[in-house]
Structure 1
Amino acid sequence: MGDYYLEYRFHIVPREPATEILIAELGELGFESFVETPEGLLAYISEQDWTENLLDQVQIFANKDFSITHERREIPQENWNAVWEQSFEPIEVGDLCVVRAPFHEPRGVKYEIVIEPKMSFGTGHHETTYLILRLLIDLNCEGKTVLDMGCGTGVLAILAAMKGADTIDAVDIDSWSYENTLENSRRNGQERIAVYQGDVSVLEKGKEYSLILANINRNVLLTDIPAYTEHLTSGGLMVLSGFYTEDLPLISQCCEENGLRLDNTLQKNNWQAAVYRLS
């Protein structure tokens, strides 16, 4: 586990659509958390994943339609809570769900999820997490076997557990996310969520799920959809996000090639989520 994260503070003019493009590119390079600001964007990456010339790969910097500058600083692990307390506001997902931090007052809604985000992705602030939460609220989880791939803070697995899922496995390749999901599961009284560190290869051979949630970037999804499908029951649902609306045809093509058909979609600020059903 790394001892610190790097915070990049980007100043972006004009902010849109440059911010969305920059988030997509940084996500491909291993940046894990993003906070949009009036000036542009805060982006965070583990020192384990960082290299000196990493940003040389960001193509939008060469686009003369945008002015993008940045500053960088190190944030020790123990200072992460202070960073989030300055910027983390409760997130309302429809009328039934709120995602908040421990230092916020309770809201008294049906599904109140308390998240200590630390350095993990998945607080509901990013559109993709919000979209899956919103879709999940309307899905029947009672008695289901659920897999949360790329679990981040564990927020999706926690909501599935609150909605009556029978068995929930949560998987993330990042050690901070693994620890954070364990902590947040306990914090929300959902200790029965089984948490694993790794990628799709850690899934138990032959185990099937009736609902698979995957909020990961486009390239990982395209690579792993065949493996996810092998673990999905007949008639089961796969809820995917982490990609832009223009990438939906590509994701859907990959899903169709693996026996999945599009069941529902939801969009927010050009980010997309989609629900597929295994025939």
Structure 2
Amino acid sequence: MSNSIYLGYYFKVNPLQPASEILIAELGEVGFESFVETEEGVNAYITKKDWHKDILDDIYILNSEEFTISYSSEEIEQINWNQEWEKNFSPILVDNRCSVRAPFHEQPQVQYDIVITPKMSFGTGHHETTYMMIQHLLDMDLQDKKVLDMGCGTGVLAILSEIRGAHPIDAIDIDHWCYLNTLENIMHNQCQHITTFQGDVSLLSNKKYDVVIANINRNILLQDIKSYAATMSKGGQLLLSGFYFEDLDIITKECEHYKLNYEHHIVRNNWIAASYTLK
């Protein structure tokens, strides 16, 4: 690590989700390069050379009436990032079958072991939505299936799909940082069948998949379900997460417009991960 001087911003967020995920995404757009999710909110770090005094002016969520967000900041020199991750990132174990861990964690005795560089909090498995999507994928037959991981974050769901036999796999995220981190984590796990793209549903033209995974948020899902359905083969499966139990009906009604039959869902702390099949 170079001797770069960093600024640390320590955000207290209420309610934590989805505000923390939105905040991280917005901060990433203006130059913050590293994030740690805490029990109170988010710690975000930016090099002093990339910082300017108005850097938070365009962070929309800070002015949102839906959330209460306060922060403090300080100048830091020579951060030991591995030490930061180790303090704040614990390995995840899903149904005693799949682990999601950092390179510095001891390798567990599980069927599926995924190693990621935890430079961001969404997509690590800690959040309920990613955890439940892993549960869905563990119970599915993915052998030789064509898979799309839309809003891939760290790429953990695409990686698990390949480990369980899927190919080819497309992993797409609109955020440049997520795109780069997915590439890094693909290398960590020696994946051979994942292609990563930066962009949105406009990239799906003329694509066909057997399984579509979209762990994003309610509004984006409602906007893009039509595009997901258009890419799916008959009998294909759609996994959706990133919304609350109260939103299940509206998500399901939108899916029904495009011949996507509701199959079942998982609930975890009021978050939902639901499965649909194309008629």
Quickly name the TM-score band, shorter chain normalised. Answer: 0.7 to 0.9
Q: How far apart, in 1, do the equivalents of 2:106 and 2:114 lie?
A: 12
Instruction: State the aligned residue count.
Output: 259
Q: What SS class does the counterpart of residue 17 from structure 2 fall into?
A: helix
Q: How far apart, in 2, do the equivalents of 1:247 and 1:42 lie?
A: 26
What residue is the counterpart of 1:125 in the other structure?
Answer: 126
What residue is the counterpart of 1:9 in the other structure?
Answer: 11
Superposition TM-score, scaled by structure 1 size:
0.83
Q: What SS class does the counterpart of residue 193 from structure 2 fall into?
A: coil
Q: What SS class does the counterpart of residue 256 from structure 1 fall into?
A: helix
Q: How big is each residue's C-alpha offset from its partner over 1:126-151, in whole Å with a ceiling of 9 and x where there is no partner? A: 11110100111001100100000011
What residue is the counterpart of 1:71 in the other structure?
Answer: 72
Q: What SS class does the counterpart of residue 242 from structure 2 fall into?
A: strand
What residue is the counterpart of 1:268 in the other structure?
Answer: 268
Letter in 1 for 2:117: E
What residue is the counterpart of 1:247 in the other structure?
Answer: 247
User: Does 1:52 pair with 2:57?
Assistant: yes
Q: How far apart, in 2, do the equivalents of 1:6 and 1:96 lie?
A: 36
Q: Following TM superposition, by how much is the alpha carbon of 1:53 offset from its aligned partner in structure 2, in angstroms?
A: 5.9
**Would you say the 8 A contact 2:213–2:240 is kept in 1?**
yes
Q: What SS class does the counterpart of residue 18 from structure 2 fall into?
A: helix
Q: How big is each residue's C-alpha offset from its partner over 1:225-272, in whole Å with a ceiling of 9 and x where there is no partner? A: 100110011110000001111111111111111111111100101111
Q: How far apart, in 1, do the equivalents of 2:7 and 2:152 lie?
A: 19
Q: What SS class does the counterpart of residue 121 from structure 1 fall into?
A: coil
Letter in 2 for 1:268: R
Q: What SS class does the counterpart of residue 149 from structure 2 fall into?
A: strand
Q: 1:198 to 1:110 in 2, by over 3 A?
A: same
What residue is the counterpart of 1:219 in the other structure?
Answer: 219
Q: How far apart, in 2, do the equivalents of 1:208 and 1:34 lie?
A: 36
Q: Following TM superposition, by how much is the alpha carbon of 1:176 offset from its aligned partner in structure 2, in angstroms?
A: 1.2
**Would you say the 8 A contact 1:167–1:193 is kept in 2?**
yes
What residue is the counterpart of 1:114 in the other structure?
Answer: 115
**Would you say the 8 A contact 1:218–1:242 is kept in 2?**
yes
| Match among 10, 18, 22 for residue 24 of structure 1 | 18
Q: How far apart, in 1, do the equivalents of 2:177 and 2:114 lie?
A: 19
Equivalent positions of 1:52-201 (< 5 A) are: 52=57, 54=59, 55-61=62-68, 69-72=70-73, 81-119=82-120, 121-201=122-202
Q: Following TM superposition, by how much is the alpha carbon of 1:183 offset from its aligned partner in structure 2, in angstroms?
A: 1.2
What residue is the counterpart of 1:15 in the other structure?
Answer: none
User: Does 1:35 pair with 2:29?
Assistant: no
Superposition TM-score, scaled by structure 2 size:
0.83
Q: Following TM superposition, by how much is the alpha carbon of 1:80 offset from its aligned partner in structure 2, in angstroms?
A: 5.1
Q: How big is each residue's C-alpha offset from its partner over 1:57-91, in whole Å with a ceiling of 9 and x where there is no partner? A: 14243xxxxxx643346899x86544322200000
Q: How big is each residue's C-alpha offset from its partner over 1:65-121, in whole Å with a ceiling of 9 and x where there is no partner? A: xxx643346899x86544322200000011210000000000021100001122362
Q: How far apart, in 2, do the equivalents of 1:212 and 1:91 lie?
A: 23
Q: What SS class does the counterpart of residue 116 from structure 1 fall into?
A: coil
Letter in 2 for 1:196: F
Q: 1:259 to 1:161 in 2, by over 3 A?
A: same
Structure 1 unaligned regions, length at least 5: 13-17, 62-67
What residue is the counterpart of 1:65 in the other structure?
Answer: none
